[in-house]
């Protein structure tokens, strides 16, 4: 795949404060660009501001969180530039999920326990595609489940009848429902065991290739980001302290914190401290 370089999202000088006493400045002057079709990894320890930044990019912040500075521009595939920060409430409703969708941290536990997978997928389609016929919705819901590796028979299941991995796949299917140009995935696999994680990551990678959406992938798991990302941004205490291609972050990290973060994952290192999971090897397996 040739490197995509056309931006789909540009964020400039974002600052976000939780207006509590004393105030918490969770994001400090962050700028980032997401290119069309790429996977941008966002790494950093717990509490560094990853989720807050993601909410800011998608205008999901609620009081006491306040974006005190910055702008977010979405570059639509139609050629139109959309200023996310100044969108009206109505415009925002059609923008979210349609243009940028999000798989929330802990999402697999946020499915409604009393309705079926089908009715939850229908909800998304009803809200955003009101003209869609029932049969078209059923077809789309089946297609979405197939895309994420879940048997379409599961449409009639309730969340408690599904494994954690399946529930997370359903959340990803919901995020895919409107064919977004950007998916923000906040720790989408953290709660799952490694084998299930791998399966889901593989699926996301395949879908990305096929559908062309860009991904902001948030996790503590830097080794995983190195394998799957095109570029990685490392956050520390509300700031992006280093940004580069996955390969550069892996082979030649500049910031002390990035080095520390890499060193804290023994599975990246062999007996003699050398890196053992080369980026080129894992990229070949894509
Ligand atoms: N509602 C809130 N009120 C006050 N402070 C908050 C609130 N929510 C988050 N914070 C603070 O904002 C900072 C950033 O939190 P955030 O959840 O964005 O971090 P994170 O990097 O996503 O962490 P994790 O990896 O644990 O998910 C933290 O210091 C957190 O304590
Ligand atoms: Mg978080």
Parallel, antiparallel, or unpaired: how do β-strands 100-103 and 182-186 relate?
Answer: parallel
Look at ligand 1, atom 16, and give the residue with the nearest C-alpha: 49
Query: Is 117 within a domain?
Result: yes
pLDDT tens, position by position, 218-261 = 998 898 899 999 999 999 999 999 999 999 999 999 999 999 98
- Confirm or reject: Cβ of 58 under 6 Å from ligand 1: no
Say how many C-beta atoms besides its own lie within 10 A of residue 67's C-beta.
19
What is the average pLDDT score of the chain? 90
- Together in a domain, 94 and 11: yes
- Confirm or reject: Cβ of 64 under 6 Å from ligand 1: yes
pLDDT tens, position by position, 79-102 = 999 999 999 999 998 899 999 999
State the distance from the centre of ligand 1 to the C-alpha of 266, rounded, in angstroms: 27
CA distance linking residue 282 with residue 286, whole number of Å:
7
Spatial contact of 182 and 215, defined as CB atoms under 8 Å apart: yes
- Together in a domain, 85 and 14: yes
- Confirm or reject: Cβ of 142 under 6 Å from ligand 1: no
Q: What is the CATH number of the domain that holds 70?
A: 3.40.50.300
Per the DSSP assignment, residues forming a β-bridge with 66 are: 17
Query: Is 201 within a domain?
Result: no
State the distance from the centre of ligand 1 to the C-alpha of 92, rounded, in angstroms: 24
- Confirm or reject: Cβ of 237 under 6 Å from ligand 1: no
- Confirm or reject: Cβ of 23 under 6 Å from ligand 1: no
- Together in a domain, 126 and 162: yes
Domain residues for the domain of 53 are 1-99+181-194+208-279
**Alpha carbon separation from 263 to 65, 95, 222, 258 (Å, rounded):** 33, 40, 10, 8
- pTM exceeding 0.85: yes
- Together in a domain, 82 and 186: yes
Phi, psi of 78 (to 5 degrees): -70, -10
- Together in a domain, 70 and 37: yes
- Together in a domain, 225 and 245: yes
What is the percent of the chain with per-residue pLDDT over 90, rounded to a whole number? 76
CA distance linking residue 125 with residue 196, whole number of Å:
28
State the distance from the centre of ligand 1 to the C-alpha of 148, rounded, in angstroms: 30
């Amino acid at each position: 795949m040739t490197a995509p370089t056309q931006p789909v999202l540009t964020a400039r000088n974002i600052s976000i404060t939780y207006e509590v006493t004393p105030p918490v400045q969770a994001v400090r002057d962050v700028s980032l660009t997401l290119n069309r079709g790429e996977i941008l990894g966002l790494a950093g320890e717990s509490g560094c501001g990853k989720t807050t930044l993601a909410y800011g990019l998608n205008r999901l912040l609620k009081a006491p969180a306040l974006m005190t500075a910055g702008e977010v521009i979405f570059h639509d595939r139609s050629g139109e530039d959309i200023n996310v920060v100044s969108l009206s409430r109505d415009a925002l409703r059609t923008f979210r999920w349609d243009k940028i969708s999000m798989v929330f941290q802990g999402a697999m536990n946020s499915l409604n326990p009393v309705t079926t997978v089908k009715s939850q997928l229908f909800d998304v389609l009803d809200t955003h595609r009101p003209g869609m016929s029932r049969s078209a919705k059923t077809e789309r819901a089946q297609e979405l489940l197939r895309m994420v590796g879940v048997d379409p028979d599961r449409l009639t299941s309730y969340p408690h009848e599904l494994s954690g991995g399946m529930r997370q796949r359903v959340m990803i299917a919901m995020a895919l429902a409107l064919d977004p140009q950007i998916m923000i995935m906040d720790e989408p696999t953290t709660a799952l065991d490694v084998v299930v994680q791998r399966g889901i990551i593989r699926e996301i990678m395949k879908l990305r290739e096929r559908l062309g959406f860009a991904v902001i992938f948030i996790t503590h798991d830097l080794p995983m980001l190195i394998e799957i990302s095109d570029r990685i941004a490392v956050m520390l205490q509300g700031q992006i302290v280093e940004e580069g291609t996955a390969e550069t972050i892996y082979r030649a990290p500049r910031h002390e914190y990035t080095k520390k973060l890499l060193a804290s994952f023994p599975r990246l290192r062999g007996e003699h401290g050398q890196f053992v999971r080369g980026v080129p090897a894992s990229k070949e397996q894509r």
